[in-house]
Structure 1
Amino acid sequence: MSQDEAARTPDTPAPGGATPPPAPEPVDERPRPQFGEYAPPGWTWTPPEETRHEAAAPAAAAPAVSGAAAAAAPTAAGRAVHPTDRAWTIALLAFGVLGVIYNSFSLAILPDSVVRSAQLSAAMLGMDAPTSFTPGPAVPALIAIGIALQLALWVGALLWSRARMRAGLIAWWVPLIAGVAAFIVVTIIGMLVFASDPVFFSELTTPRQ
């Protein structure tokens, strides 16, 4: 081979006008993409400036939210601590159990103890007391309603007090209000039982000369 033939490039036509065949293109063995075409080799995508700022905003907000939650936790924990209120609430609820038992028993024996109670009251006031009492037909139902209301008031006070203590709120006044309501119920039921006997009620409320 001469120096001229060795120096001849593939694109240089050979003597006699013959052109060598072009080199085959490289075959892309990657799978064909579903949409569009592959980017040329060496190309990289850089997100716009606005997109980078939007992506960084949630990441910056997360520590702030966590810090706010951590700051609120001691406040909530401090608000939920009421040892004195808790002790008074439990004591009043326990006392309320005794009140329910006493009031229910008093209502149950009320028809039998009406005359004796009236005599004791009259003796203290220096008055004449009725000597007989005939309960009306509605007395058993009134007594049952009174006992049921005693139990309902105590259970309601227990549930409400527990809910307020769990929420960190003052609860001692709940059983106290329930106790006052229970006393009012007993008084009303007692008056209705007395009034079931018109003669007895008239002698009890009418002063004698």
Structure 2
Amino acid sequence: MSDDARPRPQYGEYASPEEQRARIQRPEVTEALEAGVAPAPEPAVDETPAAARARGPLADRVATFVLLVYGLISVISTIVQLLDFPGYAERAAQILGVDATYTALSTGYVWGAVASVVYAVGYLLTAWLTWRRLRRGRIAFWVPLVGFVATTLVAGVCITIALTADPAFLSALTGSFAN
């Protein structure tokens, strides 16, 4: 029996190992070969280190870094103020144009400290989540913004509890809004 009498291979049994790998990994190669067209060359392997590829857009990284630095400065200054809660409350009253003295000292110091811990933990959690997203090359600028809102809401509850512990101070504040 001559070679011409043999049936033409249908399933690639005469394909070289390279051709078989190309057909498995890149279905467009199979289509090109079946159409009688030379397949496109394999895409070049990216020689960029994985850490460099996963960094994400430069603008996002810069904005994220700026937000984290600003947040750190804000958190530190807020913690310092909250640890002297009576002074913090009286400064807030002065800004509102109210002459009031905060007298619930023990409650103020406790809730001021709790709010300080909330700010510290909130910032650390935000920074950690941001770092994880940046390492994976994902957009991360929004994480410090969401972290700020969430942390401020929880700390705001603590501050409100401390302010409501002094009815005279609270009355003076709310009276200023009524005028």
Write the distance in 1 (CA, Å) between the matches of 2:82 and 2:142: 26
Partner SS, residue 133 of structure 1: coil
Q: What is the aligned partner in structure 2 of residue 148 from structure 1?
A: 117
Q: What is the aligned partner in structure 2 of residue 188 from structure 1?
A: 157
Q: What is the aligned partner in structure 2 of residue 112 from structure 1?
A: 87
Q: What is the aligned partner in structure 2 of residue 4 from structure 1?
A: none
Write the distance in 2 (CA, Å) between the matches of 1:169 and 1:113: 38
Distance 1:116 1:100, change over 3 A: closer
Equivalent positions of 1:166-177 (< 5 A) are 166-177=135-146
Q: What is the aligned partner in structure 2 of residue 84 from structure 1?
A: 59
* Identical amino acids, percent of aligned pairs: 26
RMSD: 3.6
Question: Does the CA contact (< 8 Å) of 2:130 and 2:143 recur in 1?
Answer: yes
> How far is the alpha carbon of 1:85 from its aligned partner?
0.7
Write the distance in 2 (CA, Å) between the matches of 1:152 and 1:88: 22
Write the distance in 1 (CA, Å) between the matches of 2:45 and 2:75: 40
Post-superposition CA distance 1:34-82 (Å, at most 9, x none): xxxxxxxxxxxxxxxxxxx5xx8988654456669x75975x9867541
Write the distance in 2 (CA, Å) between the matches of 1:72 and 1:155: 41
Does 2:107 correspond to 1:138? Answer: yes
Write the distance in 1 (CA, Å) between the matches of 2:138 and 2:23: 29
> How far is the alpha carbon of 1:136 from its aligned partner?
5.4
Partner SS, residue 169 of structure 2: helix
Q: What is the aligned partner in structure 2 of residue 49 from structure 1?
A: none
User: Where do 5+ consecutive residues of structure 2 fail to align?
Assistant: 1-12, 28-41
> How far is the alpha carbon of 1:186 from its aligned partner?
4.2
TM-score scaled to structure 1, two decimals? 0.56
Higher CA-based Rg = 1
Distance 1:150 1:72, change over 3 A: farther
Write the distance in 2 (CA, Å) between the matches of 1:86 and 1:65: 38
Write the distance in 2 (CA, Å) between the matches of 1:86 and 1:175: 12
Please state which structure has a larger fraction of its residues in helix: 2
Write the distance in 1 (CA, Å) between the matches of 2:94 and 2:70: 30
Give the letter aligned to residue 152 of structure 1: V
User: Where do 5+ consecutive residues of structure 1 fail to align?
Assistant: 1-52, 124-128
Question: Does the CA contact (< 8 Å) of 1:161 and 1:175 recur in 2?
Answer: yes
Question: Does the CA contact (< 8 Å) of 1:153 and 1:182 recur in 2?
Answer: yes
Q: What is the aligned partner in structure 2 of residue 197 from structure 1?
A: 166
Give the letter aligned to residue 64 of structure 2: T
Distance 1:167 1:203, change over 3 A: same
> How far is the alpha carbon of 1:157 from its aligned partner?
1.5
Aligned pair partner of 2:74 in 99, 117, 124 = 99
Q: What is the aligned partner in structure 2 of residue 206 from structure 1?
A: 175
TM-score scaled to structure 2, two decimals? 0.64
Question: Does the CA contact (< 8 Å) of 2:133 and 2:139 recur in 1?
Answer: yes
